[in-house]
Amino acid sequence: MDFTKAKKAFLVLADGTVFEGKSFGCEGTVIGEVVFTTTMVGYQETMTDPNYCGQLVAQTFPLIGNYGTNDEDYASDNSVISGYIVREYCEEPSNFRCKYTIDDFMKKHGVIGLYDIDTRRLTRIIREKGVMNGMITNEADFNKEEAMKKLAAYEIGEVVSKFSVKEKQIFKSENAKYNVALVDFGNKKSTLDALLSMGCDVTVLPYDVSADEIKALNPDGIVLSNGPGDPALNTKAIETFKALIPEKIPTFGICLGHQILALANGAKTMKLKYGHRGANQPVISLETDRTYIVSQNYGYAVDKETLPENVGKLSFINANDKTCEGISYVNAPAFSVEFHPDACSGPQDTSYLFDRFIKLMEGK
């Protein structure tokens, strides 16, 4: 590809800032919430992570695409991001697993991209002013005034229903010892794979499953998956898990599942200024006073000041801003974390949390 002949593209931010760059992936115009991720690898997993629904994702690492993409490293079935922003992308990747360039991948999945902009400047703007709406367009004559009106009106809204299974799905483990109900709020494949590898038959359930439907399965344990959007909008799920607390079923919440479990237990959630997104995020275990490097991707957090003391206690905090990263419950055999212990691609230092979940089921 001759980069000098690439079509111009623009990023318009809600504060009026305009970046001029070049177009790759699909052509067109797209609006979303502009966020940044500090991940250096795993861009295919990023683009297929349901947590990024409705967002324009900017990579802080300057070169993306050097090992290409393939048919295996999907976090979900399709790309879910609204748009993609990088400093430089590699047109000629080199890796024995490579099947497609990142440009090919984006065109296959309908992703509009922008490159050759100052992503460091963009990141500083988001860090200083907070996450804001933005527009990527490769229409040279776009109307900025009209764009600003559209940006002011844009909201991601409720998006969990787009990614959750529509009916239950059953997956069998080769050495099954436990039956696990996995409630799908936008589940990544790595969570399912981790459970199957540890001897769990898994029944994947829709996001709006009722408490009675879960109890009817008589599961040894429940996992609440990750997912996109504002956790407080999942009112039915919150009521479902509030009703399940007295049942004392071993429960493990991850990311959005962590937030929904906290809301069901009387805590509140809050939107962060620019979120925590990347595979190199530090968290501190309050139980062992050890720091772990984890993968996470979210824009909301549980407000630790609102967690009732007779319900649960903090188990992890973010090393940078001290926000809640995990809760151990005292009113039920349950715990949850904001990060992804099964991260692909990412560190797996906290994969022991799946062992903890298995022990809870053994205790049952």
Give the total residue count for the chain. Answer: 364
Q: Is the pLDDT of residue 4 over 60?
A: no
Largest Cα separation within the chain, whole Å, is: 65
Pick the CATH number of 3-153 from 1.10.340.30, 3.40.50.1100, 3.50.30.20, 3.40.50.300: 3.50.30.20
pLDDT number for residue 1: 47
CATH number of 160-363: 3.40.50.880
**Tens digits of per-residue pLDDT, 238-290?**
999 999 999 999 999 999 999 999 999 999 999 999 999 999 999 999 999 99
Domain boundaries, the chain: 3-153, 160-363
Handedness of CA 34, 37, 40, 44 (dihedral sign): negative
**d(Cα 216, Cα 214) in Å, to the nearest integer?**
5
Greater pLDDT, 243 or 189: 243
User: What number is the average pLDDT over the span 152-178?
Assistant: 94
In the three-class reduction of DSSP (H, G, I as helix; E, B as strand; rest coil), residue 249 is classed as coil
Averaged pLDDT score across all residues of the chain: 95
| pLDDT mean over 213-228 | 97
pLDDT in tens, 86-127: 999 999 999 999 999 999 999 999 999 999 999 999 999 999
CA atoms within 13 A on the CB side of 114: 30
- Gyration radius (Cα) of the chain, Å: 21
Q: How many CA atoms lie within 13 A of 286 on its CB side?
A: 14
CA 142 centroid distance within chain: 31
**25 Rama sector, left if φ>0, alpha if ψ -120 to 50, beta otherwise:** left
Q: Measured between alpha carbons, how far is 252 from 149 in angstroms, rounded to an integer?
A: 42
**Of 119, 114, 12, residue with least CA distance to 59:** 119
pLDDT digits (tens, 9 = 90+) for 41-81: 999 999 999 999 999 999 999 999 999 999 999 988 888 89
pLDDT at 257: 97
Among 158, 183, 324, 155, residue whose Cα is nearest residue 235 = 158
Tokens 């970046």 -> residue:
19
Q: What is the pLDDT of residues 196-210, one digit of tens each?
A: 999 999 999 999 999
